[in-house]
Structures are given as structure tokens and as C-alpha cells.
Chain A
Amino acid sequence: MESAIFFPEGIPGFEELKEFSLNIEEDTFLARLEATANREIAFFLVRSQLFFPDYLPKVDLSPRETEILEIGTSDQVDVWNIITVHANDLVQSTVNLRAPLILNPRTGKGVQLILNEEIHSSRQPLFPTQQDSIATKNDEEGAVD
């Protein structure tokens, strides 16, 4: 499914590019965002809420972004995060939780929001590492029995 998204402010680092096309892979939580003017500027997006269930409630839009996106009372925004693909080791790929892309599907407007809270990592590993798994396991040890 392909749709055009207009970023009135561009995205940081590529401010001159405003028009992008969003290709959502069907039945997945992945998408590709390409600059219309320069197909080589492209990003790989993921719906982070599937990996980090408590992430979305922490994403807060300011009145400024609400205005850019032209959010109406009944609008549902779409939240994506950019993945940095590590081609040599996909498992090490990281996601930028610090700067989600917020899209308004109704108006076709988008903005890259920068969250100021330090709690979000800009290079959050997408998959838990072995050590994380062990840590989670130990946490559960006392609680479950």
C-alpha cells in the first residue's frame, strides 16, 4: 500500500525534502519511506509498539505538532520509528525511539517528533540480546513462584 506523505518541515538532516512516499508492507509492521525527489533517500520504518508495548503512551504531541499534522478531533495518528539496519548483523539493528515519525493518514501530513526525555534511546536494539533475556529471566525468578 503506497501513500504520499508531506513533511512540511522535512525531517532533521534532510530539511529540503518534503515529499515522501510511504510503502506499508501488507500484513506486516514494516514500511519504507522514500523521498519522492530522490529515491536514494529512504528509510526503513517499524511500528515500535509491537516491540515496546509501553512506548506509545509516552509519545506526547505538542500543540505545534498537532497543528503541523492538522489533527482533528477524530483523527488517529500513525506512529513509526526509523530502523538503522545493520546489514552485517541484522539482529544488531537499532531503532530510534527518541524521534518517532508521526503521520496523520487523513491529511497526509507528517512530522518527525523529537522527544526530549532521556528515557528513550536513539539506538535501542530491536531484539533483546542474550544478556537482556537472562536479566528478564532473573527478574521473574522471584515473582512467579
Chain B
Amino acid sequence: MRITNNILSSNLLSNLQKSSNKMIDLQNNISTGEAISKPSDDPSKITAILGLKTNITSMEQWKDNASQALDYMSSVESVTANMTSMLQRLRGLAVQGSNQTNSPEDLGEIKKEADQIIEQLGVMANSQVGSRYIFSGTNTDTAPWPGTGLWTGNTESLSVELGANVSFDISINGQQLFGVNSATGVSDFFTALNNFSTALNNGDYAAVGNSISDLDSLLSSFIDGRAELGAKISRVETINNNLETSIINAQTNLSNLRDTDLAAAIVDYNSTMNTYRAALSVGAQIIQPSLVDFLR
């Protein structure tokens, strides 16, 4: 029988398996169940345990909030991303349409596409995530653009709790995004889109050309809005990671307090890990020669 590296490594793995089985035997000798089960067992520890448990519960709630906030903001981000690319397409059409070499029929074709996009933008301006209107501020149950062309949202912040005394605004500012005049409710956004459509309809090349700069300023509001949103998303991601680490630290400590005599565990771990490491290092030496070594 040819002894291949394959057999050597299988043997090694089965030896490693043996030593890890030995660990199972070892740990069975240490403890059965939780070291502390009722308050009278160790009153000082029980206080610490209850404190930790309360902390963990609130941190888990904050972490849930953070995940939901991330879901919400990512959905808002994807809506604004789509709207941005639609505005970019409109800008492209405006550049094309402002060229006087276009025949009236050509402008008609451009208008057809532009109107489709404008209509879709109007629908998206009333986007919802779940049942919440995203561009309404805290009026999340009311459509921000009810068909009158006037904004009904507000600029109050939509806050979620992400820590003790840490509330975080997850909303996007609809007033800034759409360039809403706070006194009249009229928006630069819909004004610019309507002007563009009218200009195409009238075959007014100069007015179509003017729409390019209007669309540019809409695009820049959307880019600003997305940048702000992106910064918020990355902050919440950081908070989320931090909370995850906090929860693990607290849970680790809880299980140390409750279940384990750390000193005893260290002794056991030492012996099991040393066995394991010895097996690994012997293994590494066995497997070392490979085909490459013979090709030298």
C-alpha cells in the first residue's frame, strides 16, 4: 500500500478528533448546570447577574432598533438612488432636446420619454417604506405630495433610541431634498419638472436648455441628501457593531459569573489545548513534505 500524504493527514485528523473528544470527557467532570441557580446561593453574585441581564436586555433592544433603522435608511437610500438616476436621464434628455437640429417630431419623442420619467418621479416622491411615507418628516402616515403639488411634510426628526440617552434621527429632510418653499409649500422639484415638460411641449429650445441647469440643481440636492444619509447609515453601522460587541462582552461575563469557575476552566483548557496544540504541531511536521518539495 502506498502511504500518501492523504493517509497521513487522515490519521492526523482522527488523532485531533480523539483529543477533542477527550476534552468533552474533561468538561463533563467540571460542572453540571449553572453554578448559581437561586439568589440564596450567592447574594453578591446574583446582584451582579441581574444587573448584567438588565443591561443585556436593553442593549438587545437598542441593537434591534439599530437594525431596523439600518433597514429603513437603506430603503430610503435606494429610493433616492433611483430618483437620482432618473433625474440624470432627464438631464440627458434636456441636453439632447435643447439642440435645435431636432425636428418637432424628435422633440415629441423626447417628451414622451420625459413625461414617463416625470410621472414616475411623482409616484416615487410619495414613496413608503412599510407603511411610512419617507419624505413626510414625522407625518409618516400622510402622503407628502397629496396631488395639490404642495408639500404637507414637516422637518421634524424621526428619532430612534440607540443607547442610554442616545436618540438618533433616521429621517431624510424632505424640505431640502425637494427644495420646498416653507411658506408656500411649492417645490423647486415639481416646478422644474413641469417647466421642462412644458418647454418640450412648446418646442421651445431655449427653455429646454434652461431646464438643464434646473435639473442640475435638483441633482445636487439629491446628491447632498444621499451623502447625508450615507453618513448616517455608516454611523448606525458603527453603533450596531459596538452594541454587538457590548452584548457579547456582557453575555460572556454573565456566563463566567453564572456557570464557570474561571480558575478551574483555565487549568482544564490548558491541558486540553496543550494536547491539541501538540497534535497540531506534530501534524504540521508530518504533512510538511508535499509534491513541491520533490520538484526542487
Q: Which residues of A contact B (CB under 8 A)?
A: 11-14, 25, 28-30, 32, 38, 40-44, 50, 82-91, 96, 98-99, 112, 114, 116, 122-123, 127-128, 130, 133, 136-137, 140-141, 144-145
Q: Which residues of B contact A84 (CB under 8 A)?
A: 248, 251-252, 255
Q: Which DSSP category, helix, strand, loop or mixed, fits chain B's interface? A: helix
Q: Which residues of A contact B81 (CB under 8 A)?
A: none
Most buried by B among A12, A29, A30: A12
A137 in contact with B256 (CB, 8 Å): no
Residue of B nearest to A35 (CB): B253
16 A-B pairs (CB sep. < 8 Å): A12-B242, A13-B245, A13-B246, A25-B266, A25-B270, A40-B257, A41-B48, A43-B253, A44-B262, A87-B27, A88-B32, A91-B24, A98-B245, A141-B6, A144-B9, A145-B4
Known: A85-B255, A90-B24. 5 other contacts (CB 8 A): A14-B253, A32-B266, A42-B262, A133-B13, A145-B4
Cβ distance B3 to chain A, nearest Cβ, rounded Å: 12
Cβ distance A42 to chain B, nearest Cβ, rounded Å: 6
Interface residue total, chain B, C-beta cutoff 8 A: 57
* A139→B45 CA distance, assembly (Å): 47
Residue of B nearest to A44 (CB): B262
Q: Which residues of B contact A96 (CB under 8 A)?
A: 245, 248, 252
Verify if B130 is at the interface (C-beta below 8 Å from A).
no
B268 in contact with A116 (CB, 8 Å): no
Q: Which of B31, B256, B274 interacts with A44 by CB under 8 Å?
A: B256
Q: Which of A40, A50, A89 interacts with B48 by CB under 8 Å?
A: A40
Most buried by B among A38, A89, A127: A127
B246 in contact with A144 (CB, 8 Å): no
Verify if B273 is at the interface (C-beta below 8 Å from A).
yes
Q: Which of A30, A41, A87, A130 interacts with B260 by CB under 8 Å?
A: A87
* A82→B48 CA distance, assembly (Å): 20
Verify if B23 is at the interface (C-beta below 8 Å from A).
yes
Q: Which residues of A contact B50 (CB under 8 A)?
A: none
Residue of A nearest to B48 (CB): A40
Given contact pairs A13-B250, A91-B24, A85 touches B260 in the complex (Cβ within 8 A): yes
Q: Which residues of B contact A144 (CB under 8 A)?
A: 4-6, 9, 290-291
